[in-house]
Amino acid sequence: MKIIADAMGGDNAPLEIIKGSLDAKNEYGVDITLVGDEGVIKACAADNDLDLTGVEIVNATQVIATDEEANSVLKKKPDSSMSVAFRLLSEGKGDAFVSAGNSGALCVGGTLITKRIKGIKRPGFAPILPHFKGGCFMLLDAGANLEAKPEMLLQYAMMGSAYMEKVMRVSNPRVGLANVGTEKHKGTDLQHKTFELLEKADINFIGNVEGRDLPNGECDVVVCDGFTGNLILKTYEGTAKAIMFKLKELFGKNFKSKLAAGLVMSDLKNMIKEFDYHEYGGAPIMGTAKPVFKAHGSSKAKTFKNAIRLTKEYVEADVIGEISKAVK
Amino acid sequence: MKIIADAMGGDNAPLEIIKGSLDAKNEYGVDITLVGDEGVIKACAADNDLDLTGVEIVNATQVIATDEEANSVLKKKPDSSMSVAFRLLSEGKGDAFVSAGNSGALCVGGTLITKRIKGIKRPGFAPILPHFKGGCFMLLDAGANLEAKPEMLLQYAMMGSAYMEKVMRVSNPRVGLANVGTEKHKGTDLQHKTFELLEKADINFIGNVEGRDLPNGECDVVVCDGFTGNLILKTYEGTAKAIMFKLKELFGKNFKSKLAAGLVMSDLKNMIKEFDYHEYGGAPIMGTAKPVFKAHGSSKAKTFKNAIRLTKEYVEADVIGEISKAVK
């Protein structure tokens, strides 16, 4: 299996991307194509004693920044690492594409260059988030399409279920509809119509879920429009991050607090690890005709390696084939 | 000043409501009218050695539960404590109304019985939330109107600014528009049109804010439609609560962890206090012609007392007069 990796995408590119890709190559036996400025990649590898033997490098002279306008940037920068990688994927020169770069551009490229699975209306951005019962859930859409129709939410539910079952190995994944209350009558017209579709669908629909249900692991897949999903995602991550930061401050304050930290260190580390998105690796763009995977923007080597592992399982489990059958 | 208190609303009614009301009466010199089942209120006070001297009791035989359907319940239960309290407020038999009961019903009653401030399109549910820089911010609308128009969000911004300035004493409150990115072009048509209105308004508009900005105290007022606001509110509170629960578990685990807890106890308590909504008391229903205030559903006496203090300041600062002038 060949994984195309965007060597220039993410806060820690190219070093951590190269490292993570090499680790994945060694651990999972995948072939790697690194896309990016060949000179920069080779120099970075040499400076850090990384052996690129057996790794294909495809040169791309431009780089897309995280904050560039997603809709047009791939056209504006045809020789960016992301644009070139999408072309390689389309031409069948790799089985899947992983990038830690601009999420919006990745959704746009996934939709317009890789194209959609036949029958899928819109691909969704689908981050996998840890919850506090020791597992994780998929939130989709988290921003690929800000406005949604009931049929789109139904497809998100089907795609999320297939991914969670096949890749994350959750049996009979529980699907929830993000809403302002658990009762069936809650929400707007979008939620009412979606509720009816989800009830009839061949999925394990558990009904409406509220914001407070998510950290408690009440479901395995949460569906909503991309505007709501993006605000849920960032509020969720931001709140957890702010509290973890506060805790670090508290435990590093003085001798007494450092002593306390020592006493509970392993438990604290476990708690932080449980809630660490680096463990989960990122977010597939669900609905594209070939696997496109977004690694977290702040990916270190371990995160990127995990993203490649998930992408490999995404290919092996033929999630895209499953989705194709389901939407026929 | 006379405060009408819903003695039967909230998870800890009537005991904690009576206690909190009495404490507010003693501390802030306000008059109190307790509305609810007179027999139950008097028995509860007697059982707990609470002195009701000087407190007016208005009998109401019905109770509205937290999960009852908000739109119709006030009509269905005309002798509920909430319905009777709204009537007293309308008839001028009190200066403001505070309840820890059904939020939805309180929004409906505020809109239909108390009526709106002239010129205000829709009242908004406006919880005040703690952030991690040691202050708080107002989120509105958090669920009174699931769908919004740009003019409604503009009015939310003006009302939130007036409240934060006059009651919470924040000078020149920073107003943010909840969005999926900080750039002006982000969001849907609602955000684009609202952005233009907010830019021109006589408020301190700081632009779009993302979910991750909220826990960091990036603004004092956040405006959005009620659907998004409700999911932000519950994700925010739910995530913080889940982590605090995890921490409690961690520190109570064994002798070593309890020792550690002892060493950082005062700092931990401060951190938990900083993020404790009981300190902030609740949420005004902004836009009603007379002050209607929602105390947190799980209010203990202290929370309810704080809610009455904020309501008193809401009346004294004539926030409603300020809003009336602003929307003329």
Would the CB atoms of A260 and B260 count as touching at under 8 Å? Answer: yes
pLDDT at A122 over 80: yes
Averaged over A7-12, what is the pLDDT? 96
Residue A180 has its nearest CB partner, among B230, B245, B246, at B230
Task: Round the average pLDDT of chain B to a whole number and report it.
Answer: 94
* A299-324: pLDDT as tens digits: 999 999 999 999 999 999 999 999 99
Q: What is the ipTM of this complex?
A: 0.93
Residue B246 has its nearest CB partner, among A231, A246, A271, at A271
- Residue B69 with chain A: CB contacts under 8 Å: 183, 185
Would the CB atoms of B146 and A215 count as touching at under 8 Å? Answer: no
What's the token pair of residue A42?
């080779």
Percent of chain B with pLDDT strictly greater than 90? 81
Residue A180 has its nearest CB partner, among B216, B227, B260, at B227
Cβ-count burial A15-25 (b if 16+ within 10 Å, e if not)? bbbbbbbbbbb
Which helix (H) or strand (E) is A128 found in, with range? Answer: strand A128-130
DSSP of A58-116: EE--B---TTS-HHHHHHH-TTBHHHHHHHHHHTTS-SEEEE-S-HHHHHHHIIIII-B
Averaged over B189-210, what is the pLDDT? 98
What's the token pair of residue B129?
């939330």
Averaged over A81-102, what is the pLDDT? 97
pLDDT band at B257 (very low <50, low <70, confident <90, very high): confident
Q: Which domains does chain B have, with CATH numbers?
A: 1-120+287-328 (3.40.718.10), 128-278 (3.40.718.10)
Instruction: Write down the pLDDT at residue B69.
Output: 86
Q: CB–CB of A177/A195 below 8 Å?
A: yes
Would the CB atoms of A271 and B250 count as touching at under 8 Å? Answer: yes
Find the residue in A nearest to B264 (Cα): A257
Instruction: Write down the pLDDT at residue B278.
Output: 66
* B107-152: pLDDT as tens digits: 999 999 999 999 999 999 999 999 988 889 999 999 999 999 999 9
* Total-model pTM: 0.93
What's the token pair of residue B92?
């001028």
Q: Which of B235, B257, B270, B298 to mutate to test the interface with A (most CBs of A within 10 A)?
A: B235
pLDDT at B277 over 70: no
Task: Round the average pLDDT of chain A to a whole number and report it.
Answer: 94
pLDDT at A39 over 80: yes
pLDDT band at A271 (very low <50, low <70, confident <90, very high): confident
Percent of chain A with pLDDT strictly greater than 90? 81
* A78-88: pLDDT as tens digits: 999 999 999 99
pLDDT band at B279 (very low <50, low <70, confident <90, very high): low
Residue A263 has its nearest CB partner, among B185, B259, B271, at B259
* A210-237: pLDDT as tens digits: 999 999 999 999 999 999 999 999 999 9
Contacts of A113 (CB under 8 A, 6+ apart): A74, A86, A87, A89, A90
